[in-house]
Amino acid sequence: MIYPPPSPWVDEIITPSKGAVKAVYHRGKLIGYQDPDAVYRRTYPDGRVTTYRNPFIGREFAVDRLHYDFNQRGVFDSFGNRVGIANLAIPGAGRVTDYKTLQARWLRLTTDPRRFSPAPNQEIIERVIFVDREGRLRLVRTSYGLGQRYDRSKYGGRWRSWASRALGLPDDARVGTQELQKAVLHKEFIVKILVPIGG
C-alpha cells in the first residue's frame, strides 16, 4: 500500500470546523475554498509557530459543504455566493499528489472512457456529484483499477443506488436511467497516473 509522507510540521486545532465553506474569488475567477471557522496552530521542526485562520481546503472536501438551490438553479457556498458547476470539477491543469516514492497525477479524461486503454500505471476514475432533494451535494468516486478498462456494467448497480438515494427512492425502485439522471449534478472521468518521484 502507498502512504503519503508524514508532514514536516505538527498541527493543533484551536477552533474546530463547523462545516461551512466559502468560495474565494480573485478578479472573477475561483481560486479556492476556505473553511471560515477553523483555526489551528502549526509548529515547524525548527520551532517556528504560526496560527492559521480561514484555511483553504481541497475541492474534494469543499463539495460536500456546498448546496444546490432549486429555485435559483445553482450551487452556492455557505454565504450565498454562487459557485459555477465548472468549479466542481478537478482543475483543468489537473492535480498532483506526492507519496513516499511515487507521484499521482490526476488529469481529466477528454476522450470517451470506453475507447481509452489505460497503461499498467494508469487508472480510470469516474467522479460523480449527486444532489438530493434537500440540495445537499455528495461526491462519489469509482475506480476501475490500475490498467483496467472502463466497464459500466461493473458498477452500474452502485450508481443506480446512489442516484435512487439522492431522489429519495428505495435502492430497488424500478426507475429508468433517464429519471435517475436527474440526481446527477456533475460527472467527469479522470485518469490517475502513477509515476516514480522525479519521473
CB 146 within 8 A of CB 117: no
Are 99 and 196 part of one and the same domain?
A: yes
Say how many domains are in the chain: 2
Residue 139 lies in a domain: yes
Are 116 and 188 part of one and the same domain?
A: yes
Are 57 and 152 part of one and the same domain?
A: no
* Confidence at 50, pLDDT banded by 50, 70, 90: very high
Mean pLDDT of the chain: 89
* Confidence at 112, pLDDT banded by 50, 70, 90: very high
Are 101 and 82 part of one and the same domain?
A: no
Structure confidence at residue 5 (pLDDT): 58
* Confidence at 189, pLDDT banded by 50, 70, 90: very high
Are 105 and 128 part of one and the same domain?
A: yes
Are 56 and 144 part of one and the same domain?
A: no
CB-CB neighbours of 130 under 10 Å: 21
Are 84 and 175 part of one and the same domain?
A: no
Structure confidence at residue 125 (pLDDT): 94
Are 35 and 115 part of one and the same domain?
A: no
Residue 175 lies in a domain: yes
Domain boundary among 38, 63, 88: 88
Its domain, for residue 59, covers 14-88
Are 177 and 134 part of one and the same domain?
A: yes
Structure confidence at residue 6 (pLDDT): 63
Structure confidence at residue 176 (pLDDT): 85
Give the mean model confidence (pLDDT) for residues 177-188: 90
Are 81 and 114 part of one and the same domain?
A: no
Measured distance CA(166)–CA(173) in Å, rounded = 12
pLDDT at 1 over 60: no
Give the mean model confidence (pLDDT) for residues 121-134: 94
**pLDDT tens for each residue of 13-41:** 999 999 999 999 998 888 899 999 999 99
Domain boundary among 88, 117, 143: 88
CB-CB neighbours of 75 under 10 Å: 24
Residue 8 lies in a domain: no
Q: Where are the beta strands (DSSP E) in 60-179?
A: 67-69, 74-76, 82-83, 95-98, 102-108, 122-131, 137-146
* Confidence at 173, pLDDT banded by 50, 70, 90: confident
Share of residues in the chain with pLDDT > 70 (%): 95
Give the mean model confidence (pLDDT) for residues 123-143: 93
Are 163 and 136 part of one and the same domain?
A: yes
Are 190 and 118 part of one and the same domain?
A: yes
